[in-house]
Amino acid sequence: MLQEYIPLAMLIGLVVFTAVAIIGLSHITLPERATPTKKTPYESGMPPLGGTRGRFSVKFYLIAVLFIVFDIETVFMIPWGVSFRQLGLFGLLEMLVFVVILLVGFIYVWKRGALEWN
């Protein structure tokens, strides 16, 4: 019974060995030369401006929350698609109601200007 897991154990061992070997070789072959440029924070290829305690607009959080809400709502369509044949017409109508509610929410957010970056 345990012989079935031998290939999996060998694969995990090979992956761990490869990861450790790559990290070890990078530390051995490349000396660390700390320069002032390397020690500066990196921010999208531009030098950082201001402090780290800057305020963000609520729009950023609103867009993030809306993305998560609509993304999670669309994830509910995957199990429906898998069991579409067993659900029949009732399942189709339920998903249609779900999509209409989702679409109404999206149109409401769009009309309120929550997706505008200005």
One-letter-per-residue 3-state SS of the chain: CHHHHHHHHHHHHHHHHHHHHHHHHHHHHCCCCCCHHHHCCCECCECCCCCCCCCCCHHHHHHHHHHHHHHHHHHCHHHHHHCHHHHHHHHHHHHHHHHHHHHHHHHHHHHCCCCCCC
Domains of the chain: 2-111 (1.20.58.1610)
For position 45, what pLDDT does the model report? 67
Residues of the chain under the 70 pLDDT cut: 41-45, 47-48, 50-52, 118
- At residue 57, the pLDDT reads 76
pLDDT at 86: 92
pLDDT of residue 104: 92
